[in-house]
Chains A and B, each alone.
Chain A
Amino acid sequence: MTVKQLKIVVFITSLVPVCLLIFGLLTNKLGVNPIETLTRETGLWALKFLVLTLAITPLRWLTGWNVLVSIRRMLGLYVFFYALIHMLLYLWLDQFFDINEIIKDIIKRPFITIGFFTFSSLIPLVMTSNNAMVKKLGGKRWKRLHKLTYFIAVASCVHFYMLVKADKFEPLMYGLVIAILLAVRLYKSMSKTSVAKVAVARS
């Protein structure tokens, strides 16, 4: 399979959840409160794609499949895609675009506040996701900016954790997976610096 073919497969597969949701909506299979189901599911899918995006680099270290990097950007954009639907559902079907209510909600309710900032943090990443922007910013600055993903990952878990009533199992599992994915990065960068230090000491 060529890189191009891989990209096409990932592109189409990533649309399956939204297609299933639309199909479920049209055939009345989303339960008796379809709006709640849609909001919850799109939020969860954004989080799942975020986990996938963060898993690419460790997977590459583990397997040596450098081709994985070529689908990372697309997965990241799907995080935004599902998060955008999630956000629009909130703005439309929860608040009916009542700006005053929305602002009040963002100020007053911590889990909404966090959700709002998390979503907002995705925007600069999306805007700088094309090759031209990478060039314009320069690799180093671009990389630094895109470390925002780590904040987004942690904040999404906090958002999820804060909104569940009693059963914290699911958000904690996501939190654990994300913690592991971030910890391996930290471990790697620490061992790298220590290797560098040893090298400096030896020279």
Chain B
Amino acid sequence: MLIRKNKHSEPLESEVTDHQVYLNRRQFLNTSATIATATMLPMGLAVAGKEAEPTFTDLVKSDFAAGEEPSTFEAITTYNNFYEFGTSKSSPAVLATEFPDKSQPWKVTIDGECDKPGDYHYDDLIRPFTMEERIYRLRCVEGWSMVIPWVGFSLADLIKRAQPNSRAKYVEFTTLYDPEQMPGQHRKVLDWPYTEGLRMDEAMNPLTLLAVGIYGQELLGQNGAPIRLVVPWKYGFKSIKSIVRIRFVEQLPTSSWMKSGPREYGFYSNVNPEVDHPRWSQSRERRIGEFLKRKTLMFNGYEEQVAHMYSDMDLKKNF
């Protein structure tokens, strides 16, 4: 299936521009520097040390949240569920400033049911692929949402290179396990390391992205640096961060959240306003920065691209 690009939805200069990144970034720097001075945290320094020049230029851009304002850089980088850096949403931005440790090169293992397994350094892993900017909605299972301009490439392209064999029915992803770098892992809030999974057709869907950046910049630690998954039609927790392993498997993988609450978090976890989470309704959501709630869209608004994969499934049972 081809991704159809809506010409009308080309991002406006005013929506996603380097200038805006600059502005947001300055604002963020100013506030974080003030906080850092006030609280003697080394955070401001770490962020301020980064250059504001976009890392990724000349990106092919596609907007999959047509007409919706992208969330600010501040919102995207200070409001994060990343339990490896603490369970409050503000803690990853504080605890992940040095993540990942630049002195240890990031390695990703690709293995399991495929003909071309291998261990890759991050740079080698991403080198073959053309980076794109994709603007996606992100809907958290907790009932809030954002619009994020990711930088990355289709997971499908990487999968094709690994040449999965006929036994490869699912793809399992694993986050780094390193309590030294990820202090949240000292406590067994979830069954570390964090794992997630996709069915092969979901993994091959053109929307499924391996992201390495946001707003033209490299991912920050709190957003899952250096490389993470983005599956925009599923609840945010499916979009696993800081990936170290991609494995092709025959059996349906059990994710960390499925282990944590089997009745609450299913394998599919597609955004679905009709199927409530046992503890809260999923029919509406609060877009970060907005006062009123929005109606949640089926498959987070990506019905056209993904509904065909689930046409013969009972989505209430396969939640």
Query: A-side interface residues toward B, CB under 8 Å?
Result: 31-33, 35-36, 93, 96, 101, 105, 108-111, 162-163, 165-167, 169
Contacts and interface: CB of A to CB of B under 8 A. Distances in A.
Given A31-B89, A31-B90, A166-B87, A109 B79 contact: no
B292 interface: yes
Interface stretch (B14-22, B51-59, B266-274, B278-286): B278-286
Interface string B255-297: 0000011000000000000001011110000101101110000
B98 interface: no
A102 to B, nearest CB: 11
B258 to A, nearest CB: 12
B79 A31 contact: yes
Contacts of A101: 281
A105 B288 CA distance: 22
Kindly list the 9 A-B residue pairs having the minimum CB-CB distance in the complex, ordered from nearest.
A167-B87, A32-B75, A32-B79, A167-B189, A166-B189, A32-B288, A166-B260, A33-B288, A166-B190
Interface of B: 72, 74-75, 78-79, 83, 87, 89-90, 142, 144, 187, 189-190, 260-261, 276, 278-281, 286, 288-289, 291-293
Contacts of A31: 78-79, 89-90
B286 A169 contact: no
A167 B289 CA distance: 26
Given A32-B74, A36-B286, A166-B261, 9 more contacts: A31-B79, A32-B78, A101-B281, A105-B281, A109-B279, A109-B280, A162-B279, A167-B87, A167-B187
A32 B144 CA distance: 11
Nearest to B293: A96
23 contacts: A31-B78, A31-B90, A32-B72, A32-B74, A32-B79, A32-B288, A32-B289, A33-B89, A33-B144, A105-B281, A108-B276, A108-B281, A109-B279, A109-B280, A110-B279, A163-B279, A165-B261, A166-B87, A166-B190, A166-B260, A166-B261, A167-B83, A169-B187
A111 B281 CA distance: 12
Contacts of A32: 72, 74-75, 78-79, 288-289
Contacts of A110: 279
Contacts of A163: 279
A103 to B, nearest CB: 13
B43 to A, nearest CB: 15
A166 B286 contact: no
A33 B279 contact: no
A9 B78 CA distance: 36
B182 to A, nearest CB: 15
Contacts of B78: 31-32
B288 A111 contact: no
Contacts of B187: 167, 169
